Amino acid sequence: MNFEIPSYLDKNNIGPYEIYLEQVERVTPYLGKLAYWVETLKRPKRILVVDVPIHLDDGSVAHFEGYRVQHNTSRGPAKGGVRYHQDVTLSEVMALSAWMTIKNAVVGLPYGGGKGGIRVDPRKLSMGELERLTRRYTTEIGIIIGPDKDIPAPDVNTNPQVMAWMMDTYSMNEGKTATGVVTGKPIALGGSLGRNDATGRGVFVAGARAMQKLGIALEGARVTVQGFGNVGNAAARIFHDHGAKVIAIQDITGTIYSEAGINPYEALAFLKEHSTLKGMPGTESIEPSSFWDIECEVLIPAALEKQITEENADRIKTRVIVEGANGPTIPVADDILSAKGVLVVPDVLANAGGVTVSYFEWVQDFSSYFWTEDEINARLDRIMREAFDSLWDVKERHNVTLRTAAYIVACARVLEARALRGLYP
Ligand SMILES: NC(=O)C1=CN([C@@H]2O[C@H](COP(=O)(O)OP(=O)(O)OC[C@H]3O[C@@H](n4cnc5c(N)ncnc54)[C@H](OP(=O)(O)O)[C@@H]3O)[C@@H](O)[C@H]2O)C=CC1
Ligand SMILES: O=C(O)CCC(=O)C(=O)O
């Protein structure tokens, strides 16, 4: 496989894995002797592509393509979520797994990186079909996952119920209950308190730290949020709880704006009742593309990759971008934002709260001893703050962006482990 970035590549149409490769290219000069091992970071360790056939409710059989990629296991078992989405591709899952390698190293978790996905629009499946899909997929990838091998978790369109089915299927196949095979489970099945809001909470802790560095007050700060799922709605709620003003929210169903501020709890209740954000009282519905023109102090992309491109980076009027989503900013847009003086808190730090509490869940499952939510949140906040501060020091020392600082730290940690382990003679 050739993972070089072709020079003719349209910088705006760059694929997810090529984005990751470009990020690694940018830090190689900072890696010193460890650069000897850098190829390790460019090649996923293991890729499994599976056919997932299921019976549909009408009696027919449908086939879906699924993936599990273990990008790197130098620092420990692979770890990362599972995505169900109609646009999932192998390149995307490869990139998402690589970003997990970097993220886990940034926050110092004893994991490598993995990610899985199925190309499916889950909204078109009944609950029974979704369960059959999940169980068949789990059996297919069962040959490479396990509590000490590769531990899946929720990502876009997967949730605690999906994790419960995965845990049950793996356990049935192994002949024993193995709670530690997935994280993000329901509390009744060995899940952890705090996991549901953990990614949004981490986005808040990293974002608040960035604001502090720039001298921006939290009270009254204007926040815009793209994506109102697990990550976006928790981040919006927690910023709101700390006095910030959420002035715009965007999801697939609509983009709502209010200069006076939107109560995210009410937005969530409205979305649940009406299945759309459009028409929420006290808000104005605006064109999706206008979302990027809204002046704010903090912008949180919390939907999918490649949302901030050369097309809209120039229009963005914010002081801080906190990447709740994975890969929302492509490299050419990163350069535009950096030249404009916008501070980007990169995904591999900003959204690491989710996997951090997943790690707590895995540890609790092994010991069958469960912590209080206060203990979990306090440990999460400390890890996020310390990771932010150590990246900030590297950023200042090398005069680089926070993303480059994150890659310098993470790549060095992964490659140090690789070098120490060595190769079979
Ligand atoms: N869950 C987790 O713990 C973690 C998630 N992440 C990342 O955060 C991001 C969001 O994940 P998560 O919140 O779990 O996913 P969810 O499925 O819970 O939510 C996704 C949200 O994004 C919205 N959305 C999807 N496409 C678009 C679009 N083109 N424009 C605007 N909104 C859109 C969805 O709208 P609708 O509901 O209307 O479809 C939904 O509100 C992903 O990049 C994921 O990889 C990162 C770390 C951990
Ligand atoms: O909780 C986890 O293990 C992984 C979450 C995830 O997929 C991510 O951080 O992108």
Give the atom of ligand 2 at the shortest distance from the alpha carbon of 79: 3
Last residue within a domain, chosen from 350, 369, 395? 350
> Residue 338 is encoded by which pair of tokens?
């950096």
**Chain center to CA of 425:** 37
Does one domain contain both 167 and 267?
A: no
Identity (one letter) of the amino acid at 147? P
Which CATH number goes with the domain that contains 276?
3.40.50.720
Given the residues 11, 42, 45, 115, select the one marked as catalytic: 115
- Residue whose C-alpha is closest to residue 299's, from 343, 256, 335, 269: 343
CATH number, residue 159: 3.40.50.10860
Last residue of a domain, one of 330, 350, 370: 350
Residue 82 CA, closest ligand 2 atom number: 7
| pLDDT score at 424 | 81
Does one domain contain both 131 and 262? no
Report the C-alpha gap between 294 and 313 in whole angstroms: 12
Flag whether 258 is in a domain: yes
Top mutation candidate among 85, 199, 322 for ligand 1, by most atoms within 8 Å of CB: 199
Same domain, 319 and 229: yes
- 166 secondary structure, DSSP code: H
Would you say residue 146 lies in a domain? yes
Give the residue ranges of the chain where pLDDT is below 50: 1-9
Give dist(CA 176, CA 59) in Å, integer.
Answer: 32
In a domain, 218, yes or no: yes
Mutate which of 156, 255, 291, 307 for ligand 1 pocket (most atoms within 8 A of beta carbon): 156
Record the tokens describing residue 83, joined without a space: 């995505």
Please name the residue ranges forming H helices in 275-330.
310-313
Task: Indicate whether 290 belongs to any domain.
Answer: yes
The answer to whether ipTM exceeds 0.95 is: yes
Number of domains in the chain: 2
Question: Residue 38 C-alpha to ligand 1 middle, in angstroms?
Answer: 31
Question: What pLDDT is attached to residue 8?
Answer: 43
Both 209 and 137 in one domain: the answer is no
Q: How many CB atoms lie within 10 A of CB 285?
A: 14
Round the CA-based radius of gyration of the chain to a whole number and report it: 21
* Of the candidates 118, 47, 111, the residue with the CA atom closest to the CA atom of residue 77: 111
Shared-domain flag, residues 235 and 277: yes
Based on the fold, state whether residues 165 and 208 are members of the same structural domain. Answer: no
Instruction: State residue 15's pLDDT score.
Output: 86
How is residue 118 annotated by DSSP? E
Out of 326, 350, 374, a domain closes at: 350
Check whether residue 160 and residue 209 sit in a common domain.
no
Q: Is residue 209 part of a domain?
A: yes
pLDDT at 250: 98
* Same domain for 134 and 75: yes
> Are 166 and 238 members of one domain?
no
Map 198-243 to HEC letters. Answer: HHHHHHHHHHHHHHHHHCCCCCCCEEEEECCCHHHHHHHHHHHHCC
129 and 222 in a single domain? The answer is no
Same domain, 345 and 202: yes
Q: Which residues line ligand 2 (CB under 6 A)?
A: 79-81, 103, 153, 155, 183-184, 326, 351, 354-355, 358
Does residue 340 have an active-site annotation? no
Same domain, 162 and 202: no
User: Binding site annotation covers 230?
Assistant: yes
Ligand 2 centroid to Cα of residue 264, in Å, is 23
Is 11 labelled a binding residue?
no
pLDDT recorded at residue 425: 74
The bound ligand whose nearest atom lies closest to the alpha carbon of 183 is 2
How many whole angstroms separate alpha carbon 69 and alpha carbon 90?
Answer: 9
CA 199/CA 381 separation, integer angstroms: 11
Residue 201 lies inside a defined structural domain of this protein: yes
The tens digit of pLDDT for each residue in 282-326 reads 999 999 999 999 999 999 999 999 999 999 999 999 999 999 999
pTM: 0.96
93-104 per-residue burial string, b: 16 or more CB within 10 A, e: under 16 = bbbbbbbbbbbb
- Asked if residue 172 is part of any domain, the answer here is yes
Nearest to 361 by CA among 339, 350, 340, 376: 376
**What is the Å distance from ligand 2's center to 280 Cα?**
31
**Residue 11 has what pLDDT?**
58
- pLDDT for residue 249: 98
Domain that holds residue 58: 44-177
Residue 134 lies in a domain: yes
